[in-house]
Amino acid sequence: MAPTEEPPANETRAMTIRLTTQQAEELEKIAQIDHVPIAEAVRQAVTAHIQERRTDPEFQERVRRIIDQDRAILERLAGS
Amino acid sequence: MALVEHLDLAGVVDLAAKLEGTTPAVVQPRMSLSAVHRALLAPAAALDGRTVHRDLTMKAAVLCARLVEHPPLAEQQLPLAWLCMREFLARNGRDLLVGDPDEVHATLDRVASGQLTDSDLAVWIESQLAPIARRLAS
């Protein structure tokens, strides 16, 4: 994977996360293989996770069902 | 204790988009992601390595209350808090009996005005659990 540019500082937010030793080692390997900084490897993983969640059919179906089921409640709450 | 499946940032943005009938890309720039982040951390809070809120309904209450108190999307304050709480319970195998809209509204209104504590809200949520979900929660 080609190296990517660091996003502008004003478009990022610093976060501290604690990984297991195994996760950290595997992340370093992925970053080395892809020739990207570890921070970029983390950003790519987060992007992939977000995309996966957005297309998760089980999640989408469940939310559709809840919204259908709770339509009267949601309308009442929105009207406050 | 069973592993709890928490909501994530993408999930909340997606829920907000569905409420507005739009896409996450449209709604996300208008959202306070820090408010979402803060609310998402609350149910999983730990002190000295120990979970603060052990009960699932308490976790749901804390999530809902933080989203009501610090709404990430002002115009969807109560609906988004409700929907996130419902989704959190659903992904952990709990369903609610669909209640009276006026009662739900009054309850969340009392959360917003500080008249209802997290514990009070948890008790109310517990009372709204579908019977099978209540058995699972116990």
pTM for this predicted structure:
0.75
HSE-CB at B72 with a 13 A cutoff on CA atoms is 30
Domain count of the fold of chain A: 1
Residue A1 lies in a domain: no
What pLDDT score does A80 carry? 66
CB B125 within 8 A of CB B81: no
Alpha helices in chain B (DSSP H): 9-20, 24-27, 33-41, 56-69, 77-91, 101-112, 118-128, 131-137
Distance in angstroms (rounded) separating the CA atoms of residues A42 and A27: 8
HSE-CB at A8 with a 13 A cutoff on CA atoms is 2
Q: How confident is the model at residue A1 (pLDDT cuts 50, 70, 90)?
A: very low
Specify the DSSP element, H or E, that contains B50.
Answer: strand B50-51
Residue A57 lies in a domain: yes
Q: How confident is the model at residue A3 (pLDDT cuts 50, 70, 90)?
A: very low
Residue A41 lies in a domain: yes
- Dihedral sign, Cα of residue B91, residue B83, residue B45, residue A43: positive
Closest CA to B81 of B31, B119, B24, B36: B36
More confident residue, A14 or A54: A14
- Assess whether pLDDT exceeds 60 at residue B138: no
Q: What is the ipTM of this complex?
A: 0.89
Q: Does B113 touch chain A (CB under 8 A)?
A: no
Alpha helices in chain A (DSSP H): 21-34, 38-54, 57-69, 71-78
What pLDDT score does A35 carry? 86
With a pLDDT cut of 90, the percent of chain B lying above it is 68
Residue A2 lies in a domain: no
Domain boundaries, chain B: 9-137
Distance in angstroms (rounded) separating the CA atoms of residues B124 and B66: 16
> Best of A17, A43, A74, A75 to disrupt the B interface by mutation (most B CBs within 10 Å)?
A74
Contact A70 B98 (CB under 8 A): yes
Residue A28 lies in a domain: yes
Residue A3 lies in a domain: no
Assess if CATH 3.10.20.30 describes domain B9-137: no
More confident residue, B99 or B69: B69
pLDDT tens digits for range A27-80: 998 888 888 999 888 888 887 777 776 678 888 899 999 999 999 999 999 986
User: How close is the nearest chain A Cα to the Cα of B23, in Å?
Assistant: 10
Distance in angstroms (rounded) separating the CA atoms of residues B80 and B36: 11
